[in-house]
């Protein structure tokens, strides 16, 4: 046991985080296969249980089988817990349990938290975790109350309450799971203003990032916010507005529907309209929004809003011949370098995954397969409706894509590298570009 602890302490944070997510996925798949989890009139194969568990832990929402039609209340509760743990992060939940047991969190735990939450230092880490857990509870309780007011009109009180709890957890953690049955998602409520706005609010706040929300609550002035918070808020608002306008222009849907789908495409995965009936222009709009995704330190995926912002600012700097800057602050070159790396790795992952899907599923169009792959990478969960019909090999590709999208392509690639940077460099020489 002592040797295992020593080996544990020697592992780099990225490797431990990835292993934590992988173990949780496998454990969730086993629980979903139990007779207690599966409805008597349903059949659940291991690949479907693994797919559902991965989608829940990676807060995606892509489904191979309908949760309501195949799982009992216990099975649905397992999915809800997996979504909650996956959204907050295995490390954050672990630290929360340690604090609940009134024990101290060691240096290794604080370093893991730093890596998981994507923050700079470890100062005030425990206080931050407490704030995150409290914030999550408040948002989800508010979502439960508002959702219940809608669902109680169509379901018995207890069932309406359970649907509201599940829906609130799924929405705040940016996971598009529902338990309404029939693969309908929220289509029956496409014109319900209260449910649309409640769900949108939970998605937006869950996707902003905990640090940004805490910064806003503390500073209460845009001018006083950190550069990171300004970047996230500005980019989020821009993408929401642009997405709404483009979807309204390309699809025959209401303004409420366009706004909701623009919000949902930012890694949530709920739909109030059948996505499979969208035009190629509408699907392409959603693909771009899904690829960008939510913000760092949030419950969402994608390359992140800050990455997109830094890349766009660099393009602007090339035209203005100035240093990369925003809001009267220079952005370090290392940040731009990391943004380029993440974007390139993410694009490569999506391209390779889409290629194999095209080989394995020739009966579907390129846009459909690209949409499913980007949805899996961005941990979104929107689908054109083809996921349940895919082959086992295709589902395994999407499982890996969801895992890579949640853990992070950069983390996944570098988690095996545990050595110091070389001190000797080669002679520099220029390369012609463009």
Which pLDDT does position 267 carry in this prediction? 79
Picking from 323, 291, 297, the residue whose alpha carbon sits closest to that of residue 310 is 323
- State the Cα–Cα distance between residues 253 and 264, nearest whole angstrom: 15
Which pLDDT does position 101 carry in this prediction? 54
* Opening angle at CA 263, ends 18 and 87, nearest 5: 25
Backbone angles phi, psi at 109, to 5 degrees: -65, -40
- State the Cα–Cα distance between residues 366 and 373, nearest whole angstrom: 11
Q: Which residues contact 53 (CB under 8 A, 6 or more apart)?
A: 25, 26, 28, 29, 31, 32, 82
- State the Cα–Cα distance between residues 54 and 30, nearest whole angstrom: 12
- Residue at 353 is within a domain: yes
The pTM assigned to this predicted structure is 0.88
- Residue at 134 is within a domain: yes
Which pLDDT does position 174 carry in this prediction? 87
- Residue at 420 is within a domain: no
Contact 291, 345 (CB under 8 A): no
- State the Cα–Cα distance between residues 192 and 256, nearest whole angstrom: 9
- State the Cα–Cα distance between residues 322 and 299, nearest whole angstrom: 34
- Residue at 422 is within a domain: no
Decide: helix, strand or coil at residue 71.
Answer: strand
Range of the domain at 263: 2-414
Contact 60, 375 (CB under 8 A): yes
Q: Which residues contact 428 (CB under 8 A, 6 or more apart)?
A: none
Picking from 426, 404, 428, 432, the residue whose alpha carbon sits closest to that of residue 14 is 404
Average pLDDT of adjacent 10-residue blocks, the chain of 434 residues? 59 73 91 91 90 91 89 93 81 58 60 63 70 86 94 93 93 88 87 93 87 85 88 92 94 93 88 91 93 81 88 86 82 87 91 95 93 92 89 94 83 63 70 71
Which pLDDT does position 414 carry in this prediction? 63
- State the Cα–Cα distance between residues 145 and 152, nearest whole angstrom: 11
- Number of independent structural domains in the chain: 1
- State the Cα–Cα distance between residues 256 and 56, nearest whole angstrom: 27
Which pLDDT does position 25 carry in this prediction? 92
Q: At what angle do helices 157-172 and 73-88 cross, to 10 degrees?
A: 30
Which pLDDT does position 96 carry in this prediction? 59
- Residue at 424 is within a domain: no
Contact 169, 84 (CB under 8 A): yes
DSSP states along 300-364: --SS-HHHHHHHHHHHHHHHHTS-SEETTEEPPHHHHHHHHHHHHHHHHHHHHHHHHHHHH-TTS
């Amino acid at each position: 046991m002592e040797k295992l602890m020593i080996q544990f302490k020697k592992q780099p944070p990225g490797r431990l985080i990835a292993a934590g997510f992988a173990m949780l996925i496998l454990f969730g798949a086993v629980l979903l296969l139990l007779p207690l989890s599966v409805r008597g009139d349903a059949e659940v194969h291991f690949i479907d249980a693994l797919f559902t568990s991965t989608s829940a832990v990676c807060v995606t929402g892509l489904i191979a089988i309908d949760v309501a039609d195949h799982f009992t209340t216990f099975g649905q509760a397992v999915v809800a817990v997996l979504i909650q743990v996956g959204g907050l992060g295995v490390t954050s939940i672990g630290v929360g349990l340690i604090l609940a047991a009134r024990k101290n969190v060691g240096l290794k735990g604080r370093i893991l938290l730093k890596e998981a939450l994507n923050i700079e230092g470890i100062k005030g880490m425990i206080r931050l975790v407490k704030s995150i857990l409290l914030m999550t509870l408040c948002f989800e309780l508010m979502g439960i109350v508002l959702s219940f007011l809608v669902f109680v009109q169509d379901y018995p009180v207890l069932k309406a309450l359970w649907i509201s709890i599940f829906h609130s957890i799924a929405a705040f953690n940016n996971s598009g799971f529902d338990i309404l049955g029939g693969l309908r998602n929220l289509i029956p409520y496409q014109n319900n203003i209260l449910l649309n706005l409640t769900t949108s609010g939970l998605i937006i706040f869950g996707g902003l990032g905990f640090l940004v929300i805490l910064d806003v609550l503390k500073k209460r002035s845009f001018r006083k916010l950190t550069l990171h918070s300004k970047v996230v808020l500005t980019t989020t608002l821009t993408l929401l507005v642009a997405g709404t306008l483009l979807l309204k222009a390309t699809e025959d849907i209401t303004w409420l529907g366009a706004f909701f789908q623009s919000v949902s495409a930012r890694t949530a995965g709920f739909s109030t309209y059948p996505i499979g009936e969208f035009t190629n222009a509408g699907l392409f709009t959603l693909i771009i929004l899904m690829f960008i995704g939510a913000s760092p330190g949030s419950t969402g995926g994608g390359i992140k809003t800050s990455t997109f912002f830094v890349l766009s600012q660099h393009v602007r700097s090339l035209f203005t011949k100035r240093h990369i800057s925003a809001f009267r602050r220079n952005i370090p070159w290392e940040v731009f370098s990391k943004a380029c790396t993440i974007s390139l790795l993410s694009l490569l992952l999506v391209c390779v995954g889409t290629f194999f899907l095209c080989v394995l599923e020739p009966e579907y169009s390129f846009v459909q397969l690209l949409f499913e792959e980007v949805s899996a990478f961005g941990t979104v969960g929107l689908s054109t409706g083809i996921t349940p019909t895919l082959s086992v090999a295709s589902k395994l590709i999407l499982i890996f894509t969801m895992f890579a999208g949640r853990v992070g392509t950069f983390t996944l690639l570098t988690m095996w590298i545990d050595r110091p940077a070389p001190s000797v460099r080669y002679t520099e020489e220029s390369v012609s570009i463009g």
